[in-house]
Chain A
Amino acid sequence: MVKVLMKGNEVIAEAAVHAGCKYFFGYPITPQSELVAYMAKRLPEVGGLFLQAESEIAAINMVYGAAGTGVRVMTSSSSPGFSLKQEGISFLVGSELPAVICNIVRGGPGLGNIQPAQSDYFQVTKGGGHGDYHIPVLAPASLQEIVDLTQDAFDIADRYRTPVIIMGDGMLGQMMEPVEFYEAKPKEVPKKDWATTGTRGDGGPKIITSLELNAESLEKHNHHLQAKFKQIKENEVRFEAYETEDADYILVAFGTVARIAMNAIRKARQEGIKVGLIRPISLWPFPEKPFIDTRDKVKSYITVEMSAGQMIEDVRLAVNGHAPVDFFGRTGGVVPTQEEIYHKIISVAGGVEV
């Protein structure tokens, strides 16, 4: 198939259409507005429906309604709008409804700005809304990877009856790269016999709810959710390890930052410093294995983020005291440069003249 040149936001949208998503409810916000506009044009062409909601709150609740009928449905937003979706996301988890939610993160807190950031890491990986839960979070680093991960996101959502988050930063949403779409092999997903579509021909009424007034029963439901999260942790970890075998130092970065870090690593390697990279692709479940495999061999890890340091907490948990974990980050929409990261490597490695 031929490659086409597209913007990241549009790639997410087209990949969703390829994954069989026919319904999209959204609200405009920079830097993800192209995604909404693309869906508005594209979905009617495939017999689907795009609806601009009156707010992100309404959008996520429309998603809740549509997901309850068993169709593949999606919404997307950026940080402030994503915050507004949290109650609805918690309801999706509680009611076990599959949906895909995209967060193209921008600078915060508050209105912040529209520049790229990764400062919603805590919010997407630690629950975000109320209650005891986790959501699978996929963080692509290239537009081609968006194509694969968007398909995965819908499959994971259906397989585990859970919302799934695709997290990108403003850069990923705005950059253009050639991508190739493909007809994905339809994955085996369970039959949605829980969907509320009317009872005609299917026996008794079905109920979609997250309410359970009895404490023991809610605890039981929560144990069921926890068991599911455990299964997701066992099956859905995704990461890339680059030149970690001989590494004295390992950078840890995700999304577009990982690409910048990669360039810094190449430069450092030319200088004879053995540096590698661990790139978490699933932010939750967080990949622990590449750390367990390396933590007794490396001198230290350096986490690089477009935040004041959020993923570093998960890195520290995975390293579990076996090695020091250093940090370099820029916030507020400032993108770390290859030189900055390179200098950080040098300063941690100590001593190489630059």
Chain B
Amino acid sequence: MITVYEKTKGLTDKPTHYCPGCTHGIIHRIVGEVLAEMDILEDTIGVASVGCSVLSYEYFNCDMTQAAHGRAPAVATGIKRVLPDRFVFTYQGDGDLASIGMSEVIHAAARGEKITVIFVNNAIYGMTGGQMAPTTLIGQKTVTSPEGRNPNIQGMPIRISEMISTLDGAAYIERVSTHDVPHIAKVKKAIRKAFETQKKGIGFSLIEVLSTCPTNWGIDPIESLEWMKNNMIPAYPLGVYKNIGERE
């Protein structure tokens, strides 16, 4: 018998608590695979944030710390500055990173902290029950924008990858999506690239992964993938926004 697919060493045996069809699980698997394939699990400290992924510290098979809402990049900075030869990553949602934690991520990027940020953009606050996020699309209905996000009232969505890539300390910034298999393969390539950037000590890396929240979007998982492709990608174009390593 040949094994064609198996559990990655990068994740623990703990069953995840994510809703059916939520792409947080895919992103976890990919991060785990990259850490395992690069053989750096034993040298990695991950930082879980506050959001649906708060329990990710039970799922990644490496040392983990849980940070206050939005502060994961500061916690990661503290770890990495003490242990510069270790790999340090944060796993953050868009409420965590782009709202309450905007200051921490910008300054970590500006300082060129040699950490990797996995930024999961699902255009909503998942854990607290579907409130508007800074990344919620124009017209998108959430429990705190019941008429749909109106730019005159709630302002425009924030494009994190574009913004962070303007900072000199940012070394590798890419936006990817989980809506189909070819794109999922690109997610893995991007995350690998980010950890290699960290390995080379070039600077700050952030991978923005477009992700679904069927539960709070109020549509089924398949439709969610379609919705993400048709609505999120036009607002959040995919691609590499910064690659300092390439330039050199």
Contact = CB atoms under 8 A, between A and B. Distances in A.
B167 to A, nearest CB: 13
A197 B68 contact: no
B94 to A, nearest CB: 19
B47 interface: yes
Contacts of B194: none
Contacts of B47: 65
Contacts of A63: 78
Interface in B150-170: none
A68 B71 contact: no
Contacts, number: 131
A349 interface: no
A199 B74 contact: no
Interface string B48-85: 10000011011011111111100100111111111100
Contacts of B28: none
Contact of A51 (B62, B81, B103): B81
Nearest to A200: B42
Contact of B65 (A55, A58, A208): A208
Contact of B57 (A55, A69, A200, A207): A207
B43 A51 contact: no
B66 A57 contact: no
Contact of A198 (B43, B61, B76): B43
B209 interface: no
A209 B57 CA distance: 9
* Chain A interface residue bracket vs B: 35 or more
Contact of A197 (B54, B64, B86, B103): B86
Kindly name the residue among A62, A63, A95 whose own CB sees the greatest number of chain B CB atoms within 10 A: A62
Interface string A323-337: 000000000000000
Contacts of B62: 198-199, 205
A66 B64 contact: no
Kindly name the residue among A65, A68, A197 whose own CB sees the greatest number of chain B CB atoms within 10 A: A65
B41 to A, nearest CB: 7
B44 interface: yes
B98 interface: no
B45 interface: yes
A197 B63 contact: yes
A62 B76 CA distance: 7
B229 interface: no
B193 interface: no
Interface string B99-128: 000011001000000000000000000000
Given A54-B103, A208-B64, A61 B57 contact: no
B114 to A, nearest CB: 13
A53 interface: yes
Interface string A17-58: 000000101000000000000000000000001010111011
Interface in A186-243: 196-201, 205-211
Contacts of A73: 78, 82
6 contacts: A55-B103, A61-B104, A62-B74, A65-B75, A68-B78, A199-B62
Given A65-B80, A207-B57, 16 more contacts: A23-B78, A25-B78, A49-B82, A54-B104, A55-B103, A63-B78, A64-B65, A66-B78, A68-B79, A69-B82, A197-B63, A198-B63, A200-B43, A207-B66, A209-B65, A211-B55
